[in-house]
Structure 1
Amino acid sequence: MDSADQNTHDSNPAIMITNERLPMSISPETLHTVARRVPAESILPYPLQMGQTTYDDPFKTIIPAIHRGPDVIYSPGAWFEAGDAWVFRREQDIRAIFMDTDHFSSKGISPYPSLVGEHWGVTPVESDPPFHRGYRNVLTPLFTPQRIMALDTQMRGYVRSFIEQFKDNGECEVMRDLAARFPITVFLELFGLPLEEVDQFMAWEFDLLHNADMATMGAAVRAVKERLTVAMNERRNQPTNDFISHIVNSRIDGKLLNDDEAFGICFNLYLGGLDTVTTNIGWQLRHLANDLPLQERLRQNPTLIPAAVEEMLRAYSTVAMFRTCTKDVVVGGVPIRVGERVVVSTSIGSNDPDVFDNPTEVRLDRHQRHLGFGTGVHACVGARLARRELVITLEEFLAAIPTFKIDPGARILTHLGGVMQQDCLPLGWN
């Protein structure tokens, strides 16, 4: 156990732990309605709420505590700052909600457009069938196996160049020096944007996903839109072979995408393509720093790395999504009413002990499917690229860096919310 895991925890399974107890406020009308469906002890704070942080490893503390609690809770304030939501803990219920587009909608799950007074959607994440398919088809050609493999040499070169900058120092701060820079560099390359803009896009990404100040978040949305809109206009007039050119010149049913549709798709790829990979690089290297036998096993047997990446994608699934109920439905024995919101957390679902024996253990021989990239029609369209980025990162890191550990005394802050990401990961080696 590293030093970031050595804090004292509240072990009461009825209270999902977090470093700070969240304020609870619920109207008498809502309380009366909800209390008829779940017991009072199931009305609880949601500890993974946007804006919350912890110095504990949430996968060793908060997630197991959730699984010691009720199968479903009703949580005031779980829906950003604005509203309440149901939170399910069982993998089968979370998977069912992901799959059920008849009763649950993805529209309006993102706060970003409203923060700047606009109405575009983060597409195709926020689109429902049948419209979702058209937007998804725009993206599918960008992520074929052939296209991903064609990037292999270039991506490997990027990782090697980043590692080269710190490998002889005996230490690095992984999140800053590698985990954030690599996927953003790949994103800029694919979008045909200058690689010199890495730091700016990193800063915007943090403000969008890891802070709870809506003014700061809104400023980042506005800045990203201004930057990408300039590039979109350039590609309409002078298309190249990059992702932006493909998107702005795509058609659905013969109709060219409008500005909002094209930007929504670009914005979706920006968020999804960066943060998932950054986050998972951090969690996977943190795990290997604490599991030296597995670290050495992978170093000696690199053919096992793809299996290790897949298992750690399960153990450290990091994304939570939201859905809005569009028709009354029963999930996990609890009636959900029209207009109510639900949290579907891959972190919770992929660590359900009823499905995965001793889920905190990383076992390369597991073969169960997990929720790391979601499931159903909204499963991550870039999952193939993300997996390849993660495999390349571990292959190159383990080949270049000898046995590494977390620096003694390190305090690693994890930002919770939509994507659970560490703010730093200081590693050292001889």
Structure 2
Amino acid sequence: MPSDDDFDLFSPPGAENPFTVYDDLRGGCPVAHSSKHGGYWIATSYQAVDDVAKNPELFSSVSISVPKNAFGDDLAERPPITLDPPRHGPFRRTLLPAFSPRQIKALEPSVRDHARELLSGIVGRDRCDAAAEYAKKIPSRFMARMIGCDDDRQDEFAEQMRALLEANEMAEIQAAMAVTQPFLDDLIEQRRRKPGEDLVSCVLSAEIDGRTLTGPELIGALVLIITAGIDTTWSALGSSLWHLARHPEDRKRLVADPALVPTAVEEFLRAFSPVQIARVVTRDTEFHGARLSAGDSILLGMPSANRDSAEFPCADQVDIGREVNRHLAFGVGIHRCIGSSVARMEMRVALEEWLRAIPDFSLAPGDAVKWSTGHVWGPRRLDLLLGSPREE
């Protein structure tokens, strides 16, 4: 593990399990510092992350990335996640209908049908890339339906989102946005003419300071919600399959008792939390022993907080039957993930269907896994060897 000041959020993990890289950092201090990317602080303990998230007056959401301009000027404004109180609350409430229990329940059968469709192309093969062929495609199709994308354009949507999600350099982000923005502009114009209950219609009706969103704000909000809805579930589902490929005892337990899958999903979210976002310090302060200055960035290390033994017994172990699990995978405070129920449903259904169709699988030999880095961690490649499918 590098020294605190050398910690790089964007460096490829050296450990077999990348989620262990925070352990030494957390053991040394609840708030660490890195000199990389212009310098930033990292809240590593459960309590420190909780304290940052619940104090928007001291820790502003005006920028959520490291470095502050990581996503470029075109995507600098991404409400509601970049809004502070009191502007945040009314905007967020406008989005709630798109994520209502009724909406999620109505869409669940389509997720299950899509999972089965994908698995029909995998079952019977010797191996597959479960990240690219399954984990990524489940949330991509779901988000296409959430935004009201026509069926005949869903593949086009998925490809555009793939390019945007996999862009790392600023030039790649700008190139991806040059293709994505006209697609979103067309969708926005359709919803202006004919509003519905979809996500785009909700964003169009949202207001900041009594006005509807400007062009950059509107595009930023949609890109944020769409990419967050795809990337986080893709990563968490991929990590779950990665764990099950390495731990046959857990895999066999879930195959024998599918009713345990929802509990296992919560544990996978804790142990392999994909998301870590930043805040901006609003004034000079001492925080958990660290002297922070106004304008400093501080990263909420959710993957680290969820491995904190002060909060979770045997925190470094994956217990798929863990009953008390107050993890922070979806954040905490006013910016807690609005789509958490969606992600839980997608993961549950995707794992249920995978284990039903492919109960036996393991990691392929060699370089089977490629992890993403930065603000969302998860397998971008997950090569699995597949056993015999279960008979219906």
Fold-level match, TM-score > 0.5?
A: yes
Distance 2:112 2:337 in 1: 22
Q: Specify the code of the residue in structure 2 equivalent to 1:394.
A: L
CA–CA separation in structure 2 for the residues paired with 1:200 and 1:427: 26
Residue 231 (structure 2) aligns with: 275
Q: Look up the match of 1:107.
A: 62
Q: Counterpart of 1:195?
A: 154
1:161 corresponds to which of 107, 117, 120? 117
**1:92 paired to 2:47:** yes
2:22 paired with 1:63: yes
Q: Report what 2:390 is aligned to.
A: none
Matched, 1:410 2:370: no
Q: Which moved more, 1:339-348 or 1:355-364?
A: 355-364
- In the alignment, does 2:381 pair up with 1:424? yes
Q: One-letter code of the match for 1:176?
A: A
CA distance in 1, matches of 2:98, 2:332: 19
Instruction: State the alpha-carbon separation in 1 of the partners of residues 293 and 50 from structure 2.
Output: 19
User: 1:65, 1:413 → 2: CA distance?
Assistant: 23
CA RMSD of aligned residues (A): 2.1
**Per-residue deviation, 1:150:** 0.9
The CA deviation at 1:169 is 0.9
2:242 to 272, 286, 291: 286
Name the count of aligned residue pairs.
381
Alpha-carbon distance, 1:118 to partner: 4.0
Q: Which residue of 2 aligns with 1:389?
A: 346
Q: Aligned partner of 1:384: which letter?
A: S
Deviation track 1:120-166 (CA, whole Å, cap 9, x = no partner) reads 51111111010001210121111111111111111110111011111
Q: Secondary structure at the match of 2:98?
A: helix
User: In the TM superposition, what is the alpha-carbon distance from 1:115 to its structure 2 partner?
Assistant: 5.8
Of stretches 250-259 and 228-237 in structure 1, the one that deviates more from structure 2 is: 250-259
CA contact (8 A) 2:130 2:382 kept: yes
Distance, in Å, in 2 between the alignment partners of 1:144 and 1:203 is 29
- Equivalent of 1:400 in 357, 363, 368: 357
Choose from 166, 188, 205 the match for 2:165. Answer: 205
Aligned partners of 1:412 and 1:424 also within 8 Å:
yes
Residues 112 and 162 (structure 1), Cα distance of their counterparts in 2 relative to 1, 3 Å cut: farther
Residue deviations 1:278-303, cap 9 Å, x none? Answer: 00111001111111111111111111
**Structure-2 separation of matches of 1:112 and 1:84:** 10
Which residue identity is paired with 1:239? P
Identity within the alignment, %: 28
**C-alpha deviation, 1:255, in angstroms:** 3.9
Residue aligned with 1:426, SS: strand
Deviation at 1:254, TM superposition (A): 6.0
Native 8 Å contact 2:74 2:220 kept in 1: no
Distance 1:358 1:176 in 2: 32
Mean CA deviation greater in 296-305 or 242-251: 242-251
Q: Deviations over 1:166-222 (max 9, x none)?
A: 111132110111011110111111112221212232122111xxx2x2211222233
Q: Which residue of 2 aligns with 1:238?
A: 194
Does the CA-based 8 Å contact 1:112-1:221 persist in structure 2?
Answer: no
> Which position in structure 2 is the counterpart of 1:3?
none
312 and 118 in structure 1: CA distance in 2 versus 1, 3 angstrom threshold: closer
Deviant stretches of 4+, over 6 Å: 111-114
**More moved, 259-268 vs 130-139:** 259-268
- Name stretches of at least 5 consecutive residues in structure 1 with no aligned partner: 1-9, 17-41
Q: C-alpha distance in 2, partners of 1:113/1:68?
A: 30
Q: Give the AA of the match of 2:311.
A: V
| Residue aligned with 2:164, SS | helix
Q: Cα–Cα, structure 1 residues 119 and 263, in superposed 2: closer, same or farther, change >3 Å?
A: closer
- Say whether the 8 Å CA contact 1:124–1:268 is kept in structure 2: no
Cα distance in structure 2, aligned partners of 1:385 and 1:186: 9
1:11-67 Cα offsets, whole Å, 9 max, x none, are xxxx35xxxxxxxxxxxxxxxxxxxxxxxxx5x1123x23x2136334464132323
Greater CA drift, 384-393 or 190-199: 190-199
Mean CA deviation greater in 314-323 or 406-415: 406-415
**Would the aligned equivalents of 2:160 and 2:176 in 1 still touch at CA under 8 Å?**
no
CA–CA distance in structure 2, aligned partners of residues 259 and 277 of structure 1: 27
- TM-score norm. by structure 1 comes to 0.83
Sort the Cα spacing of 1:192 and 1:112 in 2 relative to 1 into closer, same or farther, 3 A: farther
Q: Is the 8 A contact 2:31 2:41 kept in 1?
A: yes
